[in-house]
Amino acid sequence: MKYKNQYRSLVSSSKWSTMVRKRCKTLTLFFIIFLSLIAFGIFVPVFALLPSLSSHSLHHHQQQLLPATKKNHGYARKFEISDDKFWKDGQPFQIIGGDLHYFRVLPEYWEDRLLRAKALGLNTIQTYVPWNLHEPRAGTLDFEGIADLVSFLKLSQRLGILVMLRAGPYICAEWDLGGFPPWLLAINPAPRLRSSDPAFLQLVERWWGSLLPKVAPLLYGSGGPIIMVQIENEFGSYGDDKAYLHHLVSLARKHLGDDVILYTTDGGSRETLEKGTIHGDAVFSAVDFTTGDNPWPIFELQKEFNAPGKSPPLSSEFYTGWLTHWGEKNAQTSADFTAAALKNILERNGSAVLYMAHGGTNFGFYNGANTGSDESDYKPDLTSYDYDAPIRESGDVNNAKFKALRRVVEQYSSVSLPAVPSDNEKKAYGSINVTKTGNLFELIRYFDVVESDNPISMESMGQMFGFLLYVTEYTAKDNGGESIVSIPKVHDRAQVFISCPSEDGHEKPTYVGTLERWSNQPLTLPNTKCLSNISLLVLVENMGRLNYGPYIFDRKGILSPVYLDGRILRKWKMYLVPIINLNESPKINPNPIIQAANSGFITMSAHKRLKQKSGNASKEPAFYAGYFYISKEDIIKDTFISLSGWGKGIVTINNFNIGRFWPLKGPQCNLYVPAPILQNGKNVVVIFELESPNPELVVQLVDQPDFTCGPRKSNVHQL
């Protein structure tokens, strides 16, 4: 997540090359229209909590994980560093680990993915803790469902897997705002993120005051799986505020005690290590570096930033693949090349943590984004976080990379590796016909609205994710000529419409064009004859906040004045578009909004008429809904929803936000749909399409991922 000024090299299966890394270093009305799902009669709780581990069961498994106790060779349960080695219960220990993020996997699949990691030969799992998932609103904590960190840690314990916990508060992770909650961006005056600013530290103290006591009982010395806790993440690639790092260390010690190993991770250069590490033996300094680099000179450099005898060689992010942004070719790296690089570390008793062992999915609105040369060079991440990891997004392990890495790990593992599980079966459930349930502009009267003389950011209005509709009015030119509208700073993508009252009193917005953060150009508004003022409507999509680099303070919405022929437009109404995010539940409120949503349904008999019109329809944000059945006798299987022929938007299944689709941009054509989201009987699909629906008004449920969409390009964005 680093190396900002370096290039990235993607390696195909037929080529060996080095891969350079700058990853991270790189009301809720279910959108009103989603309430129309009532017409289908569905409600599905998506996340069933994992069965809690009884104290008896936990004690039993803790005993299983105690190869050395005071009654056994005189050693207490302890994980420590000495003689430039890791030691577990008095025995030398080589960390062969991998990142697997609980928040990118449904809880029902945590055990499945962890067992596949064990079959790969991993003895340790590393995971981040995203603050924004656990405190989506200031003061409102969430540790349930996909946010049930404690259950994930206990499950790791039960399965005999150690844990390296990356507690943040900044994590990067290609995750929205690097894991910071977006409500931090609404505070005035703004706190300086990742700094010793007292206002920021006070918020961190409150967050860690909730988080760390939950994980403290699960430290290795207390019988749990956590062997190390990371402080911040690759801070040397961002700043050099040592007071900030020291404060985090003191705070961690306060809650976790003096025995746990705290560690930092920084790129393997002298500059990043100078900035991001804490000298002495209070905090262990780990490194990461380009896959394919000779690791051993970097491990020698690492020793300079650890106390004598306290520097076991550890690559805490060994890159098995790479991230992909919308509009890029899907990243792939050679299995043999990756395996050879891992062997180079393990054969000399070095330790490594695969990033990623299993990538998972950026469900909901939580994907992050990167920048290039400046803030406008904006690159949002895909919904898929497959990462070309050995355990694929859907859990598949029958692939060349898994096999190659397992062969290497097997040579150095201290235990026999478990058998490799079969891939989970996928099912193509077939075609789903959808019908239009209404367009956005028919529903805005039901949305919460904020009025202001000037546009204000999403965060300032409490709209942390998704979409915001800005509306104002202007007077047409007396000579009937065209006007020019410009928005110097829009984050991230704005569709512009104009309308005026028609004879029947209903507004019919006309699409004018789209302003994009990365290619922002003024738009020409056509001459429109209206009986009164013309309405200007700007629908802004938050496509994911920056998770890395100097521009991380990334507010969303319209962040500048809006100019019409050089004159500032004022008196704005801002409508909060209520689409649920990953860890939110739809609120069903029986009021006129539901009737309005239900009345928007178009009957199946009108389906053909809509299809015939759709080819010439103006680009308008609209909602489409359909359903499919799974027999009560059938075992529910994973699937993928293909949005081929659609434009851009959001898809939900059974009130679960699967994520963003954008096949016009590519490369992702299909979105992964895990089986726990589905149910026997009726399953409802709702699509919020921003631009152009499939002319046939159909989506497909298929049994394979597809990353071949979008315009074909001769190169990709270089990180």
> 33-70 pLDDT, tens per residue?
443 433 344 333 344 333 333 333 333 333 344 443 33
- DSSP class of residue 325 equals B
State which H helix or E strand residue 336 sits in: helix 335-346
- Please say if the pLDDT value at position 587 is more than 60: no
Q: Using CA atoms of 435, 439, 442, 446 in order, give the dihedral in degrees to the nearest 10.
A: 90
Sequence-ordered alpha helix ranges (H) in 169-309: 198-215, 242-256, 270-276, 295-303
pLDDT for res 373: 85
Catalytic residue list contains 144: no
- State whether residue 484 is helix, strand or coil: strand
* Largest separation between any pair of C-alpha atoms in the chain: 95
Q: Which of 50-64, 283-297, 308-322, 348-362 has the lowest mean pLDDT?
A: 50-64
- Please say if the pLDDT value at position 199 is more than 80: yes
pLDDT for res 502: 60
Cross-strand pairs, 45: none
pLDDT for res 456: 97
When pLDDT is cut at 50, 70 and 90, the band that residue 559 belongs to is very high
Query: Are 667 and 328 contacting, i.e. CB atoms less than 8 angstroms apart?
Result: yes
Q: Which of 52-56, 235-239, 333-337, 344-348 has the lowest mean pLDDT?
A: 52-56
* Cα dihedral across residues 229, 235, 236, 239: positive or negative: negative
When pLDDT is cut at 50, 70 and 90, the band that residue 76 belongs to is confident
When pLDDT is cut at 50, 70 and 90, the band that residue 266 belongs to is very high
Q: Which of 4-8, 186-190, 340-344, 643-647 has the lowest mean pLDDT?
A: 4-8
- Please say if the pLDDT value at position 460 is more than 70: yes
| Mean pLDDT, rounded, of the chain | 86
Closest to 367 (Cα-Cα) out of 148, 170, 653, 103: 103
What are the percentages of helix, strand and coil residues in the chain, rounded to 5? 25, 25, 50
Q: Which of 42-56, 486-500, 536-550, 571-585 has the lowest mean pLDDT?
A: 42-56
Q: What digits encode the pLDDT tens for the residues 484-526?
A: 999 999 999 999 999 986 655 556 899 999 999 999 899 999 8
- Please say if the pLDDT value at position 612 is more than 60: no
Side-chain half-sphere exposure of 574, counting CA atoms within 13 A: 20
- Please say if the pLDDT value at position 249 is more than 60: yes
Cross-strand pairs, 486: 563
Annotated active-site residue in 135, 234, 459, 620: 234
- Please say if the pLDDT value at position 344 is more than 50: yes
Closest to 240 (Cα-Cα) out of 194, 198, 288: 194
Q: Comparing 477 with 622, which gets the higher pLDDT?
A: 622
Share of the chain above pLDDT 90, in %: 77
State which H helix or E strand residue 440 sits in: helix 440-443
Q: How far apart are CA 39 and CA 588, in angstroms?
A: 13
* Cα dihedral across residues 193, 194, 200, 204: positive or negative: positive
Q: What is the number of helices (H) and of strands (E) in the chain?
A: 13, 34
**Cis check: omega of the bond before 356, within 30 degrees of 0:** yes
- Please say if the pLDDT value at position 198 is more than 90: yes
pLDDT for res 73: 53
Q: What digits encode the pLDDT tens for the residues 304-319?
A: 999 999 999 999 999 9
Other C-beta atoms within 10 Å of 213: how many? 11
**Cis check: omega of the bond before 550, within 30 degrees of 0:** no
Q: Comparing 502 with 587, which gets the higher pLDDT?
A: 502
Mean pLDDT on 588-606: 36
Q: Which of 155-164, 442-451, 679-688 has the lowest mean pLDDT?
A: 442-451
Q: Which of 221-225, 585-589, 629-633, 700-704 has the lowest mean pLDDT?
A: 585-589
Rg of the chain over all Cα atoms, to the nearest angstrom: 26
Catalytic residue list contains 234: yes
Q: What digits encode the pLDDT tens for the residues 207-243?
A: 999 999 999 999 999 999 999 999 999 999 999 999 9
Other C-beta atoms within 10 Å of 712: how many? 8
Q: What digits encode the pLDDT tens for the residues 86-112?
A: 999 999 999 999 999 999 999 999 999
Closest to 510 (Cα-Cα) out of 489, 487, 530, 490: 530
Share of the chain above pLDDT 70, in %: 83
Q: How far apart are CA 393 and CA 388, in angstroms?
A: 9
Q: How far apart are CA 681 and CA 466, in angstroms?
A: 30
Mean pLDDT on 535-542: 97
Sequence-ordered alpha helix ranges (H) in 560-691: 592-599, 607-614
Annotated active-site residue in 232, 317, 459, 620: 317
When pLDDT is cut at 50, 70 and 90, the band that residue 7 belongs to is very low
pLDDT for res 606: 39
By CB atoms closer than 10 A (0-12, 13-18, 19+), residue 341 is buried
Q: Comparing 619 with 464, which gets the higher pLDDT?
A: 464
Q: How far apart are CA 196 and CA 219, in angstroms?
A: 27
